[in-house]
Amino acid sequence: MMNTTSSTARTIGGIVVGYLTFAVGAVLIFALSGRDAHAATSPGFLAVSVVGGVVFALAGGYVAARVARRADNLAGIAVASIIALGAVLSLALSPGGGATWSQLAALMHMVPAGGGGRAVGQRFEVSGLRFQV
C-alpha cells in the first residue's frame, strides 16, 4: 500500500499528465489543420474536431486514472473539471467575439468523455486489450 504522500503525488501527476494528453491532442487538431478554434467552421471539420477532442479527452481521463492508481475516479473527474474550466473561461473572456462551437463542444462532449476515461479503460482491460502507462 502506498503512503499518503506518494498517493497524493501520483494523483497530482496523473491529473497533469491526463490533462496534457487532452490539451496536446486538441492543440494538434487545430495546428495541423490550420484552423482557428474560435472561428466559424464547416460541419465536416466540426465533426472531425469534436470526435478527435472526445478521443483525446477519453485518453486523458484514462491516463490520469492509470497514473493515479486510485480505486475511485478522482483523477478523471479532475481532468474533466479542468477541461470544463478552460471552456467556461474561454466563453467568459470572449463575449460576442468569435464562434463558440469549440467551447460548447468541449462542455457537452469532451468533459463527460474525460470523466469517463477510466471506465472505458476498464472495459478495454476486461476484453483483453490492456494498455500500460
Number of Cβ atoms within 10 Å of the Cβ of 30: 18
Instruction: Output the DSSP codes for 30-45.
Output: HHHHT--TTS---HHH
What's the predicted TM-score (pTM) here? 0.84
What does the pLDDT read at residue 70?
83
User: Does position 25 have pLDDT exceeding 90, yes or no?
Assistant: yes
User: Any idea how long the chain is?
Assistant: 133
Tens-digit pLDDT profile for residues 42-100: 999 999 999 999 999 999 999 999 899 887 889 999 999 999 999 999 989 876 767 88
What does the pLDDT read at residue 120?
73
Query: Confidence band (pLDDT; 50, 70, 90) for 128?
Result: low
Q: Can you read off the three cell numbers belonging to residue 123?
A: 472495459
What's the half-sphere exposure (Cβ side, CA atoms, 13 Å) at 47?
A: 3
What does the pLDDT read at residue 73?
86
Domain ranges of the chain: 4-126
Number of Cβ atoms within 10 Å of the Cβ of 23: 17
CA distance 66 to 9: 13
Average pLDDT of every residue of the chain: 87
